[in-house]
Amino acid sequence: MCGRYGLFTPEEDLAELFRARIRDTDWRPSYNLAPSQTGMVCREPEAGQRELSALEWGLIPFWAKDPRETRSKYSLINARAESVAEKASFKAAFKYRRCLIPADGFYEWHTEGTGPKQPYWIRFRSGNPMSFAGLWERWEGTLDGERRTLETYTIIVGPPNELLGRIHYRMPVILGQEDWDIWLDPGMKETEALRQLLQPYPADGMEAYPVSRRVNNPKNDQPELLEATEEG
């Protein structure tokens, strides 16, 4: 799974990387982005209209009757690559509302013996941002007597590569730049071709190292969280 990540590359640099306009200017960088918080996604609502938008992490299907009930009953921060095209919560978004989720890296926790879980920071060796395969949704309805619109997203996860396999049994699906256009294309409806993109990213371009257990608390959000440590 992917339950925590970081994004602190400046918006202007992300806009250049993804060839997208910045739709939201009030987004704040984070070294410890957690579910229900606001992250940045790159999407293409209409062909050729690529944008960076600030959305809430934790997908709310467009057909949900009550977003709060959905959040309390289900964890939709991740979608499994193996079933994302068929599962009711995700299949419409997989067909019509795919996105890329920029990240400078992500955290994963490793369990060894009976001791506490050790968090690891995983990133590209190059230091460049990565892009998770994701889905986004727009929910419109009435909450507390007011009309509301909620835009949310989920991160697709799949089997790990050789590096992540030593830490955890799942990892976010990371798409290379050569796959961005087809993934974002709103006219692309070929399910099997899209499925083929959901593969483990090559391990030789990535690195992982242990970091402080302070990352366990989402209230901690400082650059120091990324510093390597022996003990965690």
User: At 204, which CATH number?
Assistant: 3.90.1680.10
Would residue 153 count as lying in a domain? Answer: yes
Would residue 139 count as lying in a domain? Answer: yes
Would residue 215 count as lying in a domain? Answer: yes
Whether 99 sits among the annotated catalytic residues: the reply is no
Written as one string, the DSSP assignment of 89-153 is TTHHHHHH-EEEEEESEEEEEE--TTSPPEEEEEEETT---EEEEEEEEEEEEEETTEEEEEEEE
Choosing from 2, 11, 44, 151, which is the catalytic residue? 2
Instruction: Return d(Cα 106, Cα 207) in angstroms, integer.
Output: 11
Asked if residues 65 and 74 have their Cβ atoms less than 8 Å apart, the reply is: no
Asked if residues 205 and 124 have their Cβ atoms less than 8 Å apart, the reply is: yes
Would residue 231 count as lying in a domain? Answer: no
Q: Which domain holds residue 30?
A: 5-226
Phi, psi of 170 (to 5 degrees): -135, 160
Choosing from 44, 108, 137, 151, which is the catalytic residue? 108
Q: Give the total number of structural domains in the chain.
A: 1
Whether 137 sits among the annotated catalytic residues: the reply is no
Would residue 232 count as lying in a domain? Answer: no
Would residue 29 count as lying in a domain? Answer: yes
Q: Is 194 helix (H, G, I), strand (E, B) or coil?
A: helix
Would residue 23 count as lying in a domain? Answer: yes
Confidence at residue 73, expressed as pLDDT on a 0 to 100 scale: 84
Confidence at residue 231, expressed as pLDDT on a 0 to 100 scale: 61
Would residue 112 count as lying in a domain? Answer: yes
pLDDT along the chain (232 residues), means of 10: 94 96 89 97 92 97 91 91 96 97 97 88 98 97 90 98 96 98 96 97 97 97 95 55
Q: Is 31 helix (H, G, I), strand (E, B) or coil?
A: strand
